[in-house]
Chain A
Amino acid sequence: MSGRLEVMKTYKLYINGAFPRTESGRSYEITSNKGEFLANACLASRKDLRDAVVAARAAQPGWAKATAYNRGQILYRIAEMLEGRSDQFAQEISLQTGASAKESLQEVSDSVDLLVWYAGWSDKLPSLAGSTNPVSGPFYNFTVPEALGVVGAIAPIDKPLLGFVAAIAPILVSGNTAVALASSTAPLSAISFAEVVATSDLPNGVLNILSGQQNELAPWFASHMDIDGLDISGLPVDQHGAIKEAGVENLKRISAFTKSSEPGRILAFMEAKTVWHPIGN
């Protein structure tokens, strides 16, 4: 008798709360940092991106309408689910990047903490970024921050989990929906993260995850007229200019960040809405 045949996981995309294969039928090999085969991942095409944007657009009004408290709770719930699967995620990170077990476990803990950190911002944003403005007339004048809409994110190549969480958590917390491209070389953590999201009460379509090549998909993220903002922290700096140029047609907000935890990452993808209200007696 031979030993048991291991059942390998098929890594697929995450679009509208489901795990479809890419419509293109393409896949590419994910290897460890030593070149050993780990898994086949979907090589997403621009049409997968298109489908993901449709899902994100449909989900956006509902997610923005959820109370800040509720959005914070759901992000916190994602953190809870991730915490419980720390070992699995740490092992996956080590396989992909060659990081030591200790380093990988640290990355998972940092990711959980970062989710909790962003979750906490949900009900504090209006006080932080909003204001009452003095105007010369009998009016109250308020400015309140609101979600932008559908935001794309291109996650960094290294730090396959922490980099990914740092990209999507600030987008989601304010009521945006996201379409995120996982690390091209180490996408397995992001796809496994989709399993965590799927069990965390995040409504379908709020977070959509693609795996594929940056240079193939980034221009389509930039030119898509129905994506309102784009986080390009994961792209090499020398490509930022071209991407910003491609995104100019719909005045897309395109930003890149260096720190994982900063409120600026949230505010970059919010609009300011100003309301005038007459002062009564």
Chain B
Amino acid sequence: MSFYGLVDGSDSSLRNCLKQLPGVDQVGAEARAAMLATRSIKTTSKAWAIDTAISMVDLTTLEGADTPGKVQALCSKAFRPDPTDLAVPHVGAVCVYNDMVGIAREHLDSIGAQELPVAAVSTAFPSGRASMQVKLQDTEDAIVAGAAEIDMVIDRGAFLSGRLIEVFEEIVAIREVCGDRAHLKVILETGELVTLDNVRKASYLAMLAGADFIKTSTGKVAPAATAPVVLVMLEAVRDFYDLTKVRIGVKPAGGIRTTKDAIKQLVLVNETAGPEWLNPSLFRIGASALLNDLLMQRMKMSDGYYASPNYVTID
């Protein structure tokens, strides 16, 4: 593997590469993110943003209490978010636990949603605390069951104790399992990485190791996708594109619940990585409750009066 010609897969080359990354100005990043959050998106721009955001949602259910019935209902909703309005686009993907992948795939195929991918959270999600053998098997199982996207978690313990090469090799190994069969999203769990410098470092590490997407969080740890974290990750994919001419996607997940939050994310994307990233193939939002709020805002725009949660499904 060439790793974009930037590292050779050895510990020293990885360290040297990551050491060259400039530090993040935390105050500056927070101020920039806060400033971009004040942009006002109205009328036709807002309508466009709502539909774009819907098409970027990775509609997610990751509960111990998930049942086949709930997953099937989620799939139906993912394909036709508002059954009364066929102009509403389908979401980006359905994101479920491994054992639900087959059920989700089968149900999506049965309702004519062949183009809608299923994403599986893999590698002992959300903690990542399992043997390598288990993680590889976990990933293989998901792909065989029909997952087109794998959301893996990194070993935050190893990353924080400086064993970067372990994290790197793990991603490389999962990447090999995925091959051409599945896209790989690497979850950094930024809520546990402590500093924005670490977020930048982990982003590069994941991209070098072969991630197609870098994802903020599992959704099980707070804080999750805060604006400064997403900003730093978007800067990382932008700079990585300048280096390699390869576009890596970004997926914030966790804590994005309202249309306002989602539109703020789109502003961040447009102003940081650029409009090329305003596309479901390069930007996704991991969420569950968000979709209902987007639908309610969409109803408000088309009907002219405020909508009620009584008119969208209970998740």
Residues of A at under 8 Å CB distance from B?
46, 50, 53, 57, 220, 223-226, 249-250
Bound CA span A223–B310, Å: 15
State the interface size on chain B (CB cutoff 8 A): 8
* Interface pair A226/B305, CB less than 8 Å apart: no
Please give the distance in Å from B39's CB to the nearest CB on chain A: 16
Please indicate the chain B residues that have their CB under 8 angstroms from the CB of A226 in the complex. 306-310
Inter-chain contacts of B305 with A (CB < 8 A): 220, 223-225, 249
Q: Which residues of B contact A (CB under 8 A)?
A: 304-311
User: In terms of DSSP, what is the predominant structure of the interface of chain A?
Assistant: helix
B119 to chain A: closest CB distance in Å? 30
**17 pairs across A/B with beta carbons < 8 Å?**
A46-B306, A50-B306, A53-B306, A220-B306, A223-B304, A223-B306, A224-B305, A224-B306, A224-B308, A225-B305, A225-B306, A225-B311, A226-B307, A226-B309, A226-B310, A249-B305, A250-B308
The answer for the CA separation of A57 and B306 in the assembled complex, in Å, is 13
Counting chain A CB atoms within 10 Å of each CB, the highest count among B304, B305, B309 belongs to: B305
Assembly CA distance A225 to B312 (angstroms)? 12
Nearest-CB distance from A61 to chain B (Å)?
12
Q: Which residues of B contact A50 (CB under 8 A)?
A: 306
| B-chain residues with CB within 8 Å of residue A250 when the two chains form the complex | 308, 310
Question: Told that A53-B306, A226-B309 touch, could you supply 14 new A-B pairs with CB distance under 8 A?
Answer: A46-B306, A220-B305, A220-B306, A223-B304, A223-B305, A223-B306, A224-B308, A225-B310, A225-B311, A226-B306, A226-B308, A226-B310, A249-B305, A250-B310
> Please, how many angstroms separate the alpha-carbon atoms of A225 and B311 in the complex?
9
| Chain A residue nearest in CB terms to B305 | A223
Taking CB atoms, residues of chain A closer than 8 Å to B309 are 57, 226
Q: Of residues A50, A225, A249, which shows the largest number of chain B Cβ atoms within 10 Å of its Cβ?
A: A225
Task: Return A15 CB to nearest CB of chain B, in Å.
Answer: 15
Q: How far is the CB of A68 from chain B (nearest CB, A)?
A: 26
Q: Note all chain A residues with C-beta closer than 8 A to B311.
A: 225
**A-B interface, 6 closest residue pairs, ranked by CB to CB distance from nearest:** A223-B305, A225-B308, A226-B308, A224-B306, A225-B307, A50-B306
Q: Which residues of A contact B304 (CB under 8 A)?
A: 223
Tell me, in angstroms, the Cα distance from A220 to B304 when the chains sit together. 10
Q: Could you tell me the distance between the alpha carbons of A32 and B201 in the complex, rounded to whole angstroms?
A: 64
Kindly provide the distance from the CB of A242 to the nearest chain B CB, expressed in whole angstroms: 14
Nearest Cβ on chain A to B50's Cβ, whole angstroms: 16
Nearest-neighbour CB distance to chain B for A64, whole angstroms, equals 16
Instruction: Report the bound CA distance from A249 to B303 in whole Å.
Output: 11
User: For the complex, what is the distance from the CA of A225 to the CA of B306, rounded to whole Å?
Assistant: 6
Residue of B nearest to A150 (CB): B308
Chain B residue numbers with a CB within 8 Å of A225 are 305-308, 310-311
Residue from the set B306, B309, B310 with the largest chain A CB neighbour count within 10 Å: B306
Q: How far is the CB of B111 from chain A (nearest CB, A)?
A: 28
A196 to chain B, nearest CB (A): 29
CA distance A57 to B308 in the complex (A): 10
CA gap between A53 and B310 in the complex, in Å: 14
Task: Tell me the smallest distance from the CB of B40 to a CB of chain A, in Å.
Answer: 12
Bound-state Cα–Cα, A250 to B304, Å: 14
Closest to A49 in B: B306
Chain B residues with Cβ under 8 A from A220's Cβ?
Answer: 305-306
Contacts of B306 in A (CB 8 A): 46, 50, 53, 220, 223-226
In Å, the complex CA distance between A223 and B308 comes to 11
In the assembled complex, the Cα of A72 lies from the Cα of B306 at a distance in Å of: 32
A53 to B304, CA, bound (A): 17
A50 CA / B305 CA spacing, docked (Å):
10
A249 to B308, CA, bound (A): 11
CA distance A50 to B311 in the complex (A): 16
Query: What separation, in Å, do the CA atoms of A223 and B305 have in the docked complex?
Result: 6
Question: Which residues of the other chain, B, contact A224 by a CB distance below 8 angstroms?
Answer: 305-306, 308
Instruction: Look across to chain A and name the residue whose beta carbon is closest to the beta carbon of B306.
Output: A224
Q: Which of A46, A50, A226 is the most central at the interface, judged by chain B CB atoms within 10 Å of its CB?
A: A226
Chain B positions within 8 Å of A249 at CB level? 305
Give bound CA distance, A228 to B18, whole Å: 58
Residue of A nearest to B258 (CB): A54
Q: How many Å lie between the Cα of A275 and that of B243 in the bound state?
A: 69
The answer for the CA separation of A57 and B307 in the assembled complex, in Å, is 13
Query: Nearest-CB distance from A49 to chain B (Å)?
Result: 8
Nearest CB to that of A250 among chain B residues? B308
Closest CB in chain A relative to B89 CB, distance in Å: 23
Min CB–CB distance B282 → chain A (angstroms)? 32
A54 to chain B, nearest CB (A): 10
Which residues of chain B have C-beta atoms less than 8 A from A57's C-beta? Answer: 309
Smallest beta-carbon distance B60→chain A, Å? 22
For A46, the closest partner residue in chain B by CB is B306
Chain A residues with Cβ below 8 Å from B310 are 225-226, 250
Closest to A246 in B: B305
Complex Cα distance, B59 from A41, in Å, reads: 43
Question: Whose C-beta in chain B lies nearest to the C-beta of A224?
Answer: B306
CB distance from B24 to the nearest CB of A (A): 32
Taken together as a complex, chains A and B put the C-alpha atoms of A250 and B306 apart, in Å, by: 11
Chain B: minimal CB distance from A12 (Å):
21
Q: Which residue of A lies closest to B311 (CB)?
A: A225
CA distance A223 to B306 in the complex (A): 7
